[in-house]
């Protein structure tokens, strides 16, 4: 996984631990233990644990904070039981498994001394926003690692081929999260992923929603990484930190993950071929797109810091992701209609006002009162965007689908 899909409303949720669901990074020469699973090819990084009074840098939880996901694993087992589901094309999954086993990026994520040197040169607000980018990206990647690892474990008996692919995808995500976390160490910070696993809330999605949401998350991640990579290749003067040089191969992992979900969806035609599937497809597209747009517009300093116009970048990513998604989802949003962007921009303005209330000196009661009309306005913009005439899409002929490298 690479992109965040936080605005999506949970169907229901539970917490493995009722403690506050913030996570922390420690400051100043303290780093925390980073615990990855055995499926990770990254060795666990161990260093000094922070004391209880360590200076903690919290990230505020909001609708837009990256989430962790869980699902109904029993239903997943039924969906992937080859005796029950005759649509499962095992030869296609075998082919995909070979792709994953090839492990194209096995030796890709190797760091060098440029990282620390570049981090040391970064100062002021850019440094701060850069750290936040690393933290959020690491959390989003790690979220994928946890979900795929569990799916790999739970599907082992029912469908060993699909299970192994999930395990190999969790290997990729662990690598991505680990690489980002090592990036944080250049800033003398580290996410405590073991703590995060236990303390964070998990959002529950039924399997079909996991398929829509993760497909979109992988494909949008692909388009984000490749767009940043291409931009920085053309404009090397903005290459302020070497992590972006790794995005070209990295995004191919995300693309393969997305293709795997595409194959999973094809094996479950009931999730693609009726009016409900169309409504859910549009819902998930909208949730993922709005989440990205609002998140990125809150952090335009980061995108400007690497020489991008935030809104232009986002619209490019949205349009490309939507075109890719239209190959498999039965309906997508008309993101190329200028009215869609106008709606997104109005959401940004409303969201900024909501954020400003949060930062004001008012007492909580007054803040909540002031928020009500704005939240209503935001909800009505989102609903209006959802109700825009959609683009009918999808394909009953999936012959063109083959695992492939896309540049």
Q: Which residues bind Fe ion (CB under 5 A)?
A: 1-2, 141, 173, 176, 218, 254, 257
- With b for 16 or more beta-carbon neighbours within 10 A and e for fewer, the 150-180 pattern comes to bbbebbeebbebbbbbbbbbbbbbbbbbbbb
Closest of 301, 89, 66 to residue 180, by C-alpha: 66
Q: Which is nearer to Fe ion, 148 or 289 (CB)?
A: 148
Q: How far is the CB of 111 from Fe ion (least distance, A)?
A: 17
Q: How far is the CB of 381 from Fe ion (least distance, A)?
A: 30
Q: How far is the CB of 354 from Fe ion (least distance, A)?
A: 30
Q: Which is nearer to Fe ion, 168 or 331 (CB)?
A: 168
Q: Which is nearer to Fe ion, 4 or 381 (CB)?
A: 4
On whether the CB atoms of residues 204 and 13 are closer than 8 A, the answer is yes
Q: Which is nearer to Fe ion, 166 or 340 (CB)?
A: 166
CA distance 264 to 151: 13
Q: Which is nearer to Fe ion, 225 or 241 (CB)?
A: 225
Kind plus residue range of the DSSP H or E element containing 407: none
Q: How far is the CB of 374 from Fe ion (least distance, A)?
A: 34
Q: How many CB atoms lie within 10 A of CB 82?
A: 16
Q: Which is nearer to Fe ion, 76 or 174 (CB)?
A: 174
Q: How far is the CB of 290 from Fe ion (least distance, A)?
A: 21
**CA 337 to chain CA mean position, Å:** 25
CA-based R_g, the chain, Å: 21
Q: How far is the CB of 9 from Fe ion (least distance, A)?
A: 22
On whether the CB atoms of residues 153 and 16 are closer than 8 A, the answer is no
Q: Give every CB contact of residue 358 below 8 A, 6+ residues apart in sequence.
A: 367
Q: Could you give the C-alpha distances from 284 to 1, 38, 215, 227, 384, in angstroms and in order?
A: 16, 32, 10, 22, 15
Q: How many CB atoms lie within 10 A of CB 225?
A: 26
Cβ-count burial of 143 within 10 angstroms (0-12 exposed, 13-18 middle, 19+ buried)?
buried
**Residue with tokens 């970048």, as numbered in its chain:** 313
Q: How far is the CB of 258 from Fe ion (least distance, A)?
A: 8
Q: How far is the CB of 339 from Fe ion (least distance, A)?
A: 32
On whether the CB atoms of residues 58 and 365 are closer than 8 A, the answer is no
């Amino acid at each position: 996984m690479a992109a965040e899909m936080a605005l999506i409303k949970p169907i229901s949720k539970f917490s493995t631990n009722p403690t506050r669901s913030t996570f922390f990074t420690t400051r100043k020469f303290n780093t925390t233990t980073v615990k990855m699973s055995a499926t990770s090819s990254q060795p666990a990084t161990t260093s000094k644990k922070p004391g209880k009074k360590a200076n903690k840098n919290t990230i505020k939880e909001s609708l837009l904070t990256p989430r962790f996901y869980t699902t109904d694993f029993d239903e997943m087992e039924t969906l992937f039981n080859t005796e029950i589901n005759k649509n499962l094309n095992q030869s296609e999954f075998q082919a995909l498994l070979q792709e994953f086993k090839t492990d194209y990026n096995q030796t890709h994520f190797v760091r060098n001394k440029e990282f620390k040197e570049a981090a040391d040169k970064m100062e002021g607000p850019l440094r701060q926003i850069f750290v936040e980018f690393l933290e959020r990206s690491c959390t989003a990647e790690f979220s994928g690692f946890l979900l795929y690892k569990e799916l790999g474990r739970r599907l082992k008996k029912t469908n060993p081929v699909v299970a192994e692919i999930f395990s190999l995808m969790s290997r990729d995500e662990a690598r991505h999260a680990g690489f980002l976390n090592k990036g944080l160490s250049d800033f003398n910070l580290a996410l405590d992923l073991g703590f995060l696993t236990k303390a964070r809330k998990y959002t529950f999605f039924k399997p079909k929603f996991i398929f829509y949401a993760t497909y979109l998350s992988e494909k949008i991640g692909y388009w984000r990484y490749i767009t940043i990579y291409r931009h920085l290749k053309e404009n090397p003067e903005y290459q302020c930190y070497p992590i972006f040089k790794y995005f070209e191969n990295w995004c191919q992992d995300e693309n393969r993950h997305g293709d795997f979900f595409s194959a999973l969806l094809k094996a479950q035609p009931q999730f693609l071929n009726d009016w409900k599937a169309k409504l859910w497809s549009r819902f998930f597209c909208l949730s993922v797109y709005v989440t990205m747009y609002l998140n990125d517009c809150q952090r335009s300093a980061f995108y400007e810091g690497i020489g991008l116009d935030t809104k232009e970048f986002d619209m490019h990513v949205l349009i490309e992701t939507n075109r890719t998604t239209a190959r498999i989802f039965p309906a997508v949003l008309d993101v190329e209609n200028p009215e869609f962007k106008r709606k997104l921009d109005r959401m940004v303005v409303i969201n900024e006002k909501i954020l400003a209330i949060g930062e004001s000196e008012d007492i909580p009661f007054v803040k909540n009162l002031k928020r009500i009309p704005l939240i209503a306005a935001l909800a009505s913009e989102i609903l209006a965007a959802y109700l825009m005439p959609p683009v009918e899409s999808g394909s009953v002929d999936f012959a063109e689908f083959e695992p492939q490298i896309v540049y």
